[in-house]
Structure 1
Amino acid sequence: MEPINLDKIAFQITLHGGNSKDLAYDALKAAKEGDFDKAENLLEEADKEFNEGHKVHSKALRSDDKENRIVPTLLLLHAKDHLMAARSEITLIKELIELHKKID
């Protein structure tokens, strides 16, 4: 089994989490401008980016077995926190977009 590079995993998780948040905020901006089709497309992209980050995280968890124990680093914990914050913000932004639709 190849050794696990925790820094690489952490940076991949952070990258996808950040991308997903940026896309979600772009979707909110589009909704504020009344472009709901663009907002929906951006939300789909945000979800895809989040899912990519989640896949990286899940793969790391599956590698955490008795022979190759993963010891969490601050960087890895930060990455996971970043990803979960993205999920929360995407969920909230989806609700805000629905409100914009109702107001429009």
Structure 2
Amino acid sequence: MDEKIFEISFGIIGYAGDAKGLAFEAIAQAKKGNIEAARETMKNSKEVITKAHRFQTELIQGEANGSKTEVSVLLVHAQDHLMNAMNFQQLAEEFIDLYEKLESK
């Protein structure tokens, strides 16, 4: 496997995992009634996922410029982590909104 693809794959996996972990933490904060802290944690989660997305963008730009990308199981796994983290962030925001509504009653 190309060393660059290996590095990109692990970059995506690492940042996506951190972003998902922060989203989990945000839900836990909201569940305890700490809505503002939860929203701040989600802001951090989105900043981290942007770093993972930059790695993905690097691959897309390379391919758009004619550079073929070797698709490996590791790269597929990295993409899976990124998409799952992004989906989880969306769900976490819904949970935070729901907990905020419950707090206001």
TM-score, length-normalised on structure 1? 0.92
Find the counterpart in structure 2 of residue 51 from structure 1.
50
Find the counterpart in structure 2 of residue 31 from structure 1.
30
Supply the RMSD in Å over aligned alpha carbons: 1.3
Q: C-alpha separation between the residues in 2 aligned to 1:58 and 1:89?
A: 20
- Percent of matched pairs sharing the same residue: 27
Q: C-alpha separation between the residues in 2 aligned to 1:57 and 1:4?
A: 15
Q: For 1:5, what is the secondary structure of its paired residue? A: helix
> How many pairs does the alignment contain?
101
* 2:4 partner amino acid: N
After TM superposition, the runs of 4+ consecutive aligned structure 1 residues lying more than 2 A away are none
Deviation of 1:96 after TM superposition, in Å, equals 0.8
Deviation of 1:29 after TM superposition, in Å, equals 0.5
Structure (1 or 2) with the greater helix fraction:
2
Find the counterpart in structure 2 of residue 6 from structure 1.
5
* 1:55 partner amino acid: R
Q: C-alpha separation between the residues in 2 aligned to 1:49 and 1:74?
A: 23
Deviation of 1:60 after TM superposition, in Å, equals 1.4
Find the counterpart in structure 2 of residue 71 from structure 1.
70
* 1:70 partner amino acid: T
Deviation of 1:4 after TM superposition, in Å, equals 6.2
